[in-house]
Amino acid sequence: QKEVEQNSGPLSVPEGAIASLNCTYSDRGSQSFFWYRQYSGKSPELIMSIYSNGDKEDGRFTAQLNKASQYVSLLIRDSQPSDSATYLCAVPNYGGSQGNLIFGKGTKLSVKP
Amino acid sequence: SQTIHQWPATLVQPVGSPLSLECTVEGTSNPNLYWYRQAAGRGLQLLFYSVGIGQISSEVPQNLSASRPQDRQFILSSKKLLLSDSGFYLCAWSASGGIYFGEGSWLTVV
């Protein structure tokens, strides 16, 4: 059974700091990785995808992938209180449909003003 | 642009009652559609997916069923709800680069 592991948190950071969210996955053959943000009571929103080793930056968000270590992370620079949410990591469950993703249980981030 | 809608947003149903959740997608044709569930303390779990009209695949055994009567319509049903069916149900469609969720439906079975 493929697995995606995340520290459930909560991770608390002060406003303006860098928040670092981590995720490990069990399937060494995984090729694509997704980060979703989920505000309390709302549906998840796709914020980043990454396919190659290294870093991918989008605004204040940077996704980092290390396939050798089976590790993917999300960095949020200049964290804002509006970034307070649960962040979900997901990888495809190959063999099924394209949208068949395996999700971690998420890390709850709290940004304190 | 593509949009996805699902309803009702919230519902409280007694054990043994039927269920129908509906989802529609706009702005795309022949989308792959999905039903996920997020139960308290658990991660998102794929329940069903569909690659076309009348084509349904089930990922987990349960007392739920899904149907796709039209290209952009996906329905989740149950004949008799169980307490364990409570959760946050999410319809989604996929494109290259990820899947995109609707607003979700909160189901509480009492």
Give B5-19 pLDDT, tens digit per residue: 999 999 999 999 999
pLDDT category, B86, cuts 50, 70, 90? very high
Cα B41 to Cα A3, A99, A104, B88: the distances in Å are 16, 22, 11, 12
Q: What's the average model confidence in pLDDT over A14-31?
A: 93
**Residue located via tokens 């949410």:** A85
- Please provide the average confidence, as pLDDT, over all residues in chain B: 93
* pLDDT score of A8: 86
Q: Searching chain A, which residue's CA lies closest to the CA of residue B51?
A: A97
Tokens found for residue B84: 């364990």
Beta strands B44-52 and B32-38 are antiparallel
The full length of chain A comes to 113
3-class DSSP assignment, residue B105:
strand
- Please provide the average confidence, as pLDDT, over all residues in chain A: 92
Give B52-75 pLDDT, tens digit per residue: 999 999 887 678 999 999 999 999
Per-residue pLDDT for A98 more than 80?
no
Per-residue pLDDT for A27 more than 70?
yes
* pLDDT score of A97: 56
Give A61-96 pLDDT, tens digit per residue: 999 999 999 999 999 999 999 999 999 999 988 655
* pLDDT score of A96: 53
| Rg over CA atoms, chain B | 13
Q: What's the average model confidence in pLDDT over B94-110?
A: 91
Closest to A44 (Cβ–Cβ): which among B32, B93, B101?
Answer: B101
Reduced to 3 DSSP states, what percent helix, strand and coil does chain B have, rounded to the nearest 5?
Answer: 5, 60, 35
Distance CA A67, CA A74 (A): 15
Residue numbers in A near B100 (CB within 8 A): 46
* pLDDT score of A38: 97
Residue numbers in A near B43 (CB within 8 A): 4, 88, 103-106
Residue numbers in A near B94 (CB within 8 A): 97-99
Q: Which residues pair with A57 in a beta bridge?
A: A62
One-letter amino acid at A106 equals G
Q: Which of B86, B41, B85 is nearest to A108 (CA)?
A: B41
Reduced to 3 DSSP states, what percent helix, strand and coil does chain A have, rounded to the nearest 5?
Answer: 5, 55, 40
